Amino acid sequence: SQQGEEDPQALSIQEGENATMNCSYKTSINNLQWYRQNSGRGLVHLILIRSNEREKHSGRLRVTLDTSKKSSSLLITASRAADTASYFCATDGTSGSRLTFGEGTQLTVNP
Amino acid sequence: DAGVIQSPRHEVTEMGQEVTLRCKPISGHDYLFWYRQTMMRGLELLIYFNNNVPIDDSGMPEDRFSAKMPNASFSTLKIQPSEPRDSAVYFCASSSLQGNSPLHFGNGTRLTVT
């Protein structure tokens, strides 16, 4: 079964607005990763946050992690049309087992 | 760095035929993963290798699926015989350290079985 579940399933915003996507997971983790997938392409890694971290930034991306709630959020600030893609969270589990992906959030940024 | 290279990009075949998907991981990466993506089930891990050795094949749906990694720069995923329900996008990914480093994905092979 999928370890991570993203919320919402789809999000449509205007260029310049912020986009927030959430991920919940079920078991303890070593780290949580976020990926982007453009239509017809493979997934591209965005950011990794370790279980002992609470927040991480990379450019216009901000990721938070709350291990007590088993949840994470990805914030994209000042969105652009080029940010239109599906976004997935992925978790590894403390046993170092395989990386499993959520079902993804489809983000559409309208110009 | 050419990234993970998969071939073919598209494959259309008839039910019952053998299908072979190919992957060249990033040089120096010790881990190689095969994923399948469908609308219904999302991204599923089929199998992964460490140093060319299969570690976990519990995601392989049935005996019709097999994967090999004869050397560090090449892997194949074979389906024999193929069925319409195998239609999906198959991704290969590699990483330098499982779980603690990013996966680098190829652009996938879109398989259609008629």
> Tens digit of pLDDT per residue, chain B (114 long)?
689 999 999 999 999 999 999 999 999 999 999 999 999 989 999 999 999 999 999 999 889 999 999 999 999 999 999 999 999 999 999 998 755 789 999 999 999 999
Four-point Cα dihedral A18, A23, A29, A35, nearest 10? -60
Gap between the Cα atoms of A58 and B97, Å rounded? 21
Gap between the Cα atoms of B80 and B97, Å rounded? 31
- Bridge-based pairing state of the strands A10-14 and A19-25: unpaired
CA distances (Å), A68 to each of A24, A64, A71, in order?
11, 12, 8
Q: Is B80 on the interface with A (CB under 8 A)?
A: no
Give the B window 8-67 contacts with A, CB below 8 Å: 33, 35, 42-43, 45, 48, 56, 59
Contact A42 B106 (CB under 8 A): yes
CA distances (Å), A60 to each of A63, A79, B20, B38, in order?
10, 8, 40, 30
- Nearest residue, CB atoms, A104 vs list B42, B59, B93: B42
Single out the residue of B49, B30, B21, B75 nearest to residue A98, CA to CA: B49
Residue A69: both structure tokens together: 């709630």
Contact A98 B42 (CB under 8 A): no
Tell me what the mean pLDDT of segment A50-56 comes to: 95
**Which residues does residue B48 pair with via DSSP β-bridges, in sequence order?**
B33, B56
The whole-number pLDDT of residue A28 equals 87
